[in-house]
């Protein structure tokens, strides 16, 4: 039988962890032929709850689950890791300045990047979910110089999926008929959901953009502020939908995106579309053979240019702030 894939999940005892682990163990992320060994990383206070989740995973008797290890130390948790899902992060506390938030997360993602560098398998693929996801991914990547930078990604798939449903509802078509949407920039309220290149049940998405009021006052803010709306309604942040997006991201990274479509992911910029090289920014991406590739040659109109530039400017600010804090090394 196949060798199990080592999947490390940080923040395993958190909300997203709880929604994510069972789906990984059932085969929804890597496929029904791929056994997985789960490595759960938590802080010491989270270990007992992670043990409880591990008991429940055992109680599912998943045929693909080859084992579960629980760790409170990154070096052991990332030893031999093939797929790393970095979910645990430091949330913004009351009165916390942005600089404090970035510093606190640097304290998490710097040692995790170093541990990945030290022990990960040659084919390691990293998805950062914990916020601020793009900049946390940049910090981890900076401390893993021996791992190709392209292996560090940040999750904007939830934003992408949110946008798909908003468009499907507006157009009155099934969500499966909406293709080629793009989330650009940062996973934050400045993100830009772009439907100028979309295909909506065979019609050009640009038709929907003719309703500027809907586009600018409804669609864009609804997608960009959906996280806050969920917190408002549920009293807790998106968890099952975030876990679902993480499953989608890794699934498509490993298995490829469908012909004729693309998705969105935060990946290291090669300078495409005027996004400074080295930033981890969301792009329209396809995947084949296990590598993301930026969709090239899309025309960027005036509205898109302004919105992309604003989100990228925020990423530059975050990068400069963590660089000043010494979190990018060198
Ligand atoms: P949560 O607070 O329920 O769970 C976080 C878990 O991480 C806790 O169990 C905590 O003990 C653990 N943790 C903290 N520091 C850690 C460390 N150094 N190593 C290992 N584990 C550590 O939070 P939830 O709801 O699961 O969300 C996790 C993160 O995902 C948050 O940062 C949230 O903002 C982010 N998020 C990102 C989304 C995206 O689209 N990129 C969507 C939704 C949430």
Question: What is the interface pTM, i.e. ipTM, of the complex?
Answer: 0.99
Same domain for 30 and 164 = no
Q: What number is the average pLDDT over the span 51-73?
A: 98
The verdict on the CB of residue 13 being under 6 Å from ligand 1 is yes
Q: Structural domain of residue 103, as residue ranges?
A: 5-154
CATH number at residue 258: 3.90.110.10
Angle at 108 between CA 104 and CA 109, to 5 degrees: 115
Q: What share of the chain is helix, strand, coil (3-state, %, to 5)?
A: 45, 20, 35
The verdict on the CB of residue 167 being under 6 Å from ligand 1 is no
Domain assignment present for 304: yes
- The end-to-end CA distance of the chain, in Å, is 44
Which tokens belong to 295? 């969709």
Binding residues for substrate: 92, 98, 131, 162
Last residue of a domain, one of 154, 186, 220: 154
User: Left, alpha or beta for 68 (phi > 0: left; psi -120 to 50: alpha)?
Assistant: beta
Q: Which of 51, 91, 106, 130 to mutate to test the pocket of ligand 1 (most atoms within 8 A of CB)?
A: 130
Computed over every residue of the chain, the mean pLDDT equals 96
Instruction: Provide the CA 221 distance to its chain's centre, in angstroms.
Output: 20
CATH number at residue 104: 3.40.50.720
Q: Say how far apart CA 309 and CA 300 lie, in whole Å.
A: 11
Domain assignment present for 309: yes
Q: What number is the average pLDDT over the span 62-86?
A: 98
- Write out pLDDT tens, residues 16-45: 999 999 999 999 999 999 999 999 999 999
Return phi, psi of residue 215, to 5°: -60, -50
* Residue 169 Cα to ligand 1 middle (Å): 30
Q: Say how far apart CA 178 and CA 164 lie, in whole Å.
A: 6
- 62 CB-contact burial (10 Å; exposed 0-12 / middle 13-18 / buried 19+): middle
Max CA distance (Å), the chain: 56
pLDDT at 99: 85
Is residue 72 pLDDT above 80, yes or no? yes
Domain assignment present for 329: no
Same domain for 197 and 104 = no
* Residue 130 Cα to ligand 1 middle (Å): 5
């Amino acid at each position: 039988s196949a060798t199990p894939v080592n999947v490390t999940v940080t923040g395993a005892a958190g909300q997203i962890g709880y929604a994510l682990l069972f789906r990984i163990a059932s085969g929804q992320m890597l496929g029904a032929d791929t056994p997985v060994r789960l490595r759960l990383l938590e802080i010491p206070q989270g270990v007992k709850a992670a043990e409880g989740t591990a008991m429940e995973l055992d109680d599912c008797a998943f045929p693909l689950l080859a084992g579960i290890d629980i760790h409170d130390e990154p070096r052991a948790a990332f030893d031999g890791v093939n797929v790393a899902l970095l979910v645990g992060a430091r949330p913004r506390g009351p009165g916390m300045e942005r600089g404090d938030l970035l510093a606190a997360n640097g304290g998490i993602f710097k040692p995790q990047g170093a541990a990945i560098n030290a022990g990960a398998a040659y084919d390691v693929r990293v998805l950062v979910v914990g916020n601020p996801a793009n900049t946390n991914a940049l910090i981890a990547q900076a401390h893993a110089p021996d791992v190709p930078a392209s292996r560090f990604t940040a999750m904007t798939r939830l934003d992408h999926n949110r946008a798909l449903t908003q468009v499907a509802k507006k157009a009155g078509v099934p969500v499966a008929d909406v293709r080629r949407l793009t989330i650009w920039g940062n996973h934050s309220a400045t993100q830009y959901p772009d439907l100028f290149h979309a295909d909506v049940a065979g019609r050009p998405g640009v038709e929907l953009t003719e309703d500027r009021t809907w586009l600018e006052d409804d669609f864009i803010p609804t997608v960009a502020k959906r996280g806050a709306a969920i917190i408002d309604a549920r009293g807790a942040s998106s968890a099952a939908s975030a876990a679902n997006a993480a499953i989608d991201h890794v699934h498509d990274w490993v298995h490829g995106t469908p012909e004729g479509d693309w998705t969105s992911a935060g990946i290291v910029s090669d300078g495409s579309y005027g996004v400074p090289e080295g930033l981890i920014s969301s792009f329209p991406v396809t995947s084949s053979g296990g590598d993301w590739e930026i969709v090239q040659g899309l025309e960027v109109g005036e509205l898109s240019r302004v919105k992309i530039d604003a989100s990228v400017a925020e990423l530059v600010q975050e990068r400069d702030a963590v660089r000043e804090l010494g979190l990018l090394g060198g």
